[in-house]
Structure 1
Amino acid sequence: MTVVASKYARKENDLYQTEPWATEAALRHFDLSGLRGWEPAAGNHLVADVIREHGAEVYTSDIVTYDRRHDLICDFLKPHDSVEQFDFIFTNPPYGPQNRDAARFARLALQRCDGWVFILCTMKFDSGKTRTDLFRDNPRFHAKIVLIDRISWEMNGKSGTEDHAWYIWQPTDAADLGSAPARIFWEGRGA
């Protein structure tokens, strides 16, 4: 697929909803049932709803309220007291220019959660030399799930303009931490 420049005019705190199939794609490989997690860029809870359908408890927060209320209103990128201890963080964060906000989001998620961390970002997110601490040099980096279909951010069936993937880090107490190479999977809309 070719990356095409978007003609979408961005606005502050814009809502980019993650289609349910994209979250399902990650959950085909990871069972979070019975665990308790945090969705810190919850938007309208589309990611959280799918995770709940798979048997996990999900605490939600975001910088603003869209159509659904969150457990907490907060800016994940700003210092604040840790909400609680969670088994996972699972989110589609704001990306910012050159994915800098997404990189900050990933680093903070790894600091704030000793469990699983799932970040949805652009396909090229793991290609920057300024991110080797997240990938090459990080023993927690576990897997990448390439989405072979593009996400419709406006939920209107029109394909987005860029390719995406889930990036997954494992818990700090994982038995194979740093000893096994990261895995790569390919998933799309269909099972």
Structure 2
Amino acid sequence: MSSQLQSSQSQPLALSSIAEWTDERVAEIYLARSTAKAKQAIEDLFSPHVKASLNGRSITRAQIDQLLLGMRSTEEGDLGFYWTDLVDVSGDPKTHRNGALGGVYIITGLQLPHPETGKLVPSFRRKCVAIKVESQSEDLSIDSRKITEFTTIAYNYPMDQLEALEKKRAGLVDQHKVTPRL
């Protein structure tokens, strides 16, 4: 039995890339079908001692939980989520146990006060994040990755502005395409 335990601990687990891991874990928070599942997804993603900031101000792990769970308008959540940009770098491309990621994503399904009228309206949040991911264990047979550093900038918009902002972004991409010279 102890030889089986030793062999399982010595076999490195093949891990997904930092981007794949982050995408899956973040989606589990926003798309969770219950508050309990969202809470567990937050536990699985963030280190208890994460160093974090939101819009330039330091925040605690408890504040992260409160902010993420506070977006849920119902027990079921009813949020949408997708990345618009994502860049990751693995500290070790063979294992993906540690690394960094930067990206921008959109959260839909929010009900927030309109900036001019104060009336609750369907809204979305655009978030830019920079994170550091580190394994929490030396055991290579388990995936113990968690976010240890987290910086985010977030802003809310009325939902009717999403299509216009996405078209503007796509237009900028088209405008700045460079064709390599041969």
| TM-score class normalised by the smaller sequence | under 0.3
Hey, which of these two has a bigger chunk of strand by percent?
2
Structure with higher helix content? 2
Instruction: Give the structure with higher Rg (CA).
Output: 2
**Normalised TM-score (structure 2):** 0.28
